Structure 1
Amino acid sequence: MSKNLVLQTDFGLSDGAVSAMYGVALSVAPALRIFDLTHDIPQFNIWEGSYRLYQTISYWPEDTVFVSVVDPGVGTDRLSIVVKTAENQYIVTPDNGTLTHIKQNIGITAVREIDERVNRLPKSGDSYTFHGRDVYAYTGARLASGTIQFDEVGPELDVEDIIEIEHNQSYMDEDGIVHGNIDIHDVRFGNLWTNINHDLFKEANFKYGDSFEVTIANNTRQVYKNIMTFGRSFADSHLGEPLIYVNSLDKLGVAINQGSFAKAYQIETGMNWKITIRRAPKIVYNE
């Protein structure tokens, strides 16, 4: 019985690239169930590809096969691999950092290099620019359909050698101030998702309804500073007011109730975008 095959790319849907990947997969196994994670990863943004995998993968059944193609190094000597996660799912991808969040937050138990002598679309050997179709969709479909087993992908590699993107860890200093990064946006609504785990707030005995001073800086340049409340949901703030909340990955988010925080303050993502959160006096709004 075929497993699920889930595709993620930075290709967009304005041309035939994603459709070609579907076609290759269905040519391998016509009964295959194929789904899209997203094809709107910003071009060449390996970090966001890594994060969207992390955001999604745990909610799919075991043995689901993911194909993730954000591959600015296509045609170079970067490796093509398949990994098995600690939750018994598979990811087919270039080894270029796109597994950073999976390795750090979920765990990877095994990795194999794709042997292109066997696991490559027939008659595609002269093409070096569309591995998403010729190598990853083909191998992913073969694995999801049971045409091959994981140990037939290719030679086994060391999990510790998987490439990771440099990233920071959140922490609380001796003064009880929480430090983190703006990891990514909740794109549709413009909320900021940080790398600060809710457990860090629990450790500091911060509670819903408490008020905090939130500062956001790009390197050393302060971009935003304000007092806001830690709420369970957006309903715990007034329309247009900022709040801290726990997002769907159990990490802290910063939002404006029915507004885009990212657009309002021109805040982007990455290691240069720092956030600090410290206790502040409780805010009392006039009714």
Structure 2
Amino acid sequence: MNIYDYYPRIFEKKIPLSLLKIPSRNYNHWKKENLVYSSKETKSKNIEKRENVFLNVFDALWLFIVKELREFNVDFPTIRAVKDIMYSNIEFDNEKLDSISTQEFANSILKHVPEELKDTIRPLLLDGSFLTYFDKIIDEKNYILFQNIGGVFSDILLRDVSVSLMIKKKEEFVEVFFIKNDSNNFNNNTTLANLISNSIINDTFINIPLVPLVAKMFEDSNFDKHNFQFYFFNENEKKVVDALNDDLCKEIKVNKHQSGDITLNLTFEEDVKNQNAKEIRRILGMKQYEKIEMVYRNDKHLVVKNTKKEILKKEQ
């Protein structure tokens, strides 16, 4: 299973640049300085048209990273070096490769390959020539799954692994590390702790936690429309999100049944004042401290429940 099995439209460019709060002039300047990733398709165009900029989640994450780095006045050459790493192919873990057979390695890669390409790629994996032809046989959509930025999304969204980007610079050389905090891997966490403690003592570095940047595309209500387009929320989850964003919704109760069905009880409340309040009171015949509940059955059937509150004074 790869990320497209869970989010089949995640590659589509739906997010407007304005949602990232990056001015167009900054974006255009970054583009001229080669800080913005250009796909194979974009690079092949001879004429560049001025048009509105729309991003997919991979584009958006990278621009969030650029924005973070520029806020710390990181120079353009360093950012370009980071971009090259983010969009380079994932390096295989040689220790793990040595411990498995060629067939097991091939199967682990084929799990992430579209069905229509498996017959083409399988022999290339078995004879070791896969990377030689990789760029020619994988389209742009699937290519990014084998790049570090695609791996970041897979780690965060599918494997629940926290990922940080550590950038070190020594003279003119830029080193980029992906720090992964996997709660299920004790040995990895021990290595991680040693790496961080050594870096804090010996190195000057910038660390960018990537989970908060990815979370901006899930938790910021301004992104909700695009989250639905990418299928980050299903239709039932959308109803809950819509209720949470409705100022008139004062209470949400969710009950899950053994069948798997869910009952969603929403309570809305709105103040009605002045002439509208008088008109409703007249129609319903209400007095002070009365409570009316109405149940809509159909266009010809309403149920009205009237609850009165009356204080009975103790007789002297």
- For normalisation by structure 1, the TM-score amounts to 0.23
Name the one with the larger helix percent: 2
| Greater strand share, structure number | 1
| Max Rg structure | 2
With the length of structure 2 as denominator, give the TM-score of the two structures. 0.22
